[in-house]
Chain A
Amino acid sequence: MVSIINFVISQSIWIPIIIGLVRFKIIKSECLPFFLLLVIGLFTEFISFLLIRYANHGHGYGSNAVPTNIFVLIEWLLLAYQLHSWGFLKKRKELFYIFISAPVLIWIVENIILGKIVVFSPYFRILYAFLIALVSISEINYRITHDNKNLFRNPKFIICIGLILFFVYQILYEWAYQVSLIEAPMGFTTSIISLFAYINVITNIIFGIAFLVGREEKEFEFESL
């Protein structure tokens, strides 16, 4: 029952996807990697649901650890690329490649070499959430100090707000999850874990708003005169 409720809640990802599809022409120039991430996220949710519901691992339910672990790697790559395309380390390509590769190496060590792909291992998840939150903060602050237009009509600004909310909460979630593995789940750790699904809904709505408020940037050419 819980898995069905979680699955239904996770379907809020349709909100930004539908808005994104309707306004694809507008968002494709600036937010394509992010939109792609949402679509991959949707597929991952489906696969996760099917695995949890139907793949029996001998204790009554299946694990979605493998698709989730693969998804977080894709999420990291696409988000890092998206933030890079918005200006993060744009003039320092080498540094960006190091920045993007370091967590990937940790993912390989954690998931492939140590073979933790079948469980929810925390190191990569915490690291990439932490890095995305930092870069999003940087992007938001850049927009606050440099953008002289209405920030709430800027999809980059709104998406970054959503990313900060989501990934800071993800760090909290990981903490609660690790604590619950050590000790019997306490009231507030259980609350933090269960609230994650609702945070996901809120961020999906924020992403939807970001796609909704995006404006088409007109390209001026001599031919249009």
Chain B
Amino acid sequence: MNNQLVYITVIFAILITIIIVYFFASIIRYHRRYMKLQRERILIEITIQENERKRIATDLHDSLGPLLSAVKLNINSIEIQPEDQEILEKACRSLDEIIGSMRQISYDLLPNTLELKGLTEAVREFIGHVGYKKGINIQLYVVKDISVPREKEIHVFRMLQEIVHNAIKHAEAKNLQIGLSEEDNSLLLLAKDDGKGFDIEKAKENSHGLGLKSLESRCEILNGILSIESKPGFGTNYFVKIPMV
């Protein structure tokens, strides 16, 4: 009689345990599915955004650029009176500025070098460009030859752009060191600036911290790891590891 009681109690205890375990297993399963779905959504959004940028950059570079150059050529070929010379020169200078700005916008949207020569060269070009214009000393160390899959290049480049942008705009850094390497089929990206640093938790809570969110989103869709170390007054270290396979 007593054995039967124990037997019944054990069976019911097992049933209740299964229900509790199933509750947690089920919520973990749905959470994983949800995370996967989220990642896919972010990837789609970013891909659409990049495609749109590419389209605008191509339009600016291939259609508007030559058109403006043609306009400038035509203006220069006009025979004019000496008193109009100054106005014409002014118009040409404005045209040069427009062409320069347009090239810059096109470059910011999508650097041609990334498409033509790959990530390392695009990063070198970008760093040279920014360092010269913004007065920051950026050093790039490419430890090993890196081969990043084509579809991942743009995301790594954007992450790097964001890091440089943060160092200049928010950290007001004077020096920035960037290291690129490949290890165990993963791309390693390390960056260290000597800027004023920041409180990571506060920045994440702050809805204005779009830059950090963008870094996180891109890292997430690449199945990568992002680690940021920073303290007010002590600069910022970034560590990014992205699987290449």
Stretch touching chain B among A12-20, A24-32, A173-181: A173-181
> What are 12 contact pairs spanning A and B, CB under 8 A?
A130-B18, A134-B22, A141-B23, A141-B26, A141-B27, A144-B30, A145-B33, A168-B16, A168-B19, A171-B15, A179-B5, A182-B4
- The chain A residue with its CB closest to the CB of B16 is A171
- For B, the interface residue count at a CB cutoff of 8 angstroms equals 19
Q: Are A183 and B34 in contact (CB-based, < 8 A)? A: no
Complex interface residues of chain B between 1 and 19 (CB less than 8 A to chain A): 1, 4-5, 8-9, 12, 15-16, 18-19
Report the number of A-B residue pairs with Cβ-Cβ less than 8 Å. Answer: 51
8 closest Cβ contacts across the A-B interface?
Answer: A175-B12, A145-B30, A145-B34, A141-B27, A141-B26, A141-B30, A137-B23, A138-B26
Question: Mostly helix, strand, loop or mixed at chain B's interface?
Answer: helix
A172 within 8 A of B: yes
- Interface size band for A: 20 to 34
User: Which residues of A are interface residues toward B (Cβ below 8 A)?
Assistant: 126, 130, 133-134, 137-138, 141-142, 144-146, 168, 171-172, 174-175, 178-179, 182-183
Q: How far is the CB of B19 from chain A (nearest CB, A)?
A: 5
* Distance, CA A142 to CA B34, complexed state (A): 9
B116-127 interface bits toward A, Cβ cutoff 8 Å, 1 = contact, 0 = none: 000000000000
User: What B residues does A126 contact at CB under 8 A?
Assistant: 15
- The chain A residue with its CB closest to the CB of B5 is A182
B231 within 8 A of A: no
Q: How far is the CB of B155 from chain A (nearest CB, A)?
A: 26
Question: Mostly helix, strand, loop or mixed at chain A's interface?
Answer: helix
Partner of B9, one of A137, A145, A146, A175: A175
Taking A141-B30, A174-B12 as contacts, is the C-beta distance between A182 and B1 under 8 angstroms?
yes
* Distance, CA A175 to CA B8, complexed state (A): 7
Q: How far is the CB of B213 from chain A (nearest CB, A)?
A: 19
User: What A residues does B1 contact at CB under 8 A?
Assistant: 182-183
Q: How far is the CB of B26 from chain A (nearest CB, A)?
A: 5
B204 within 8 A of A: no
* Distance, CA A174 to CA B13, complexed state (A): 12
User: What A residues does B23 contact at CB under 8 A?
Assistant: 137, 141
- The chain B residue with its CB closest to the CB of A146 is B34
B31 within 8 A of A: yes
- The chain A residue with its CB closest to the CB of B26 is A141
* Distance, CA A171 to CA B19, complexed state (A): 11
User: What B residues does A174 contact at CB under 8 A?
Assistant: 12
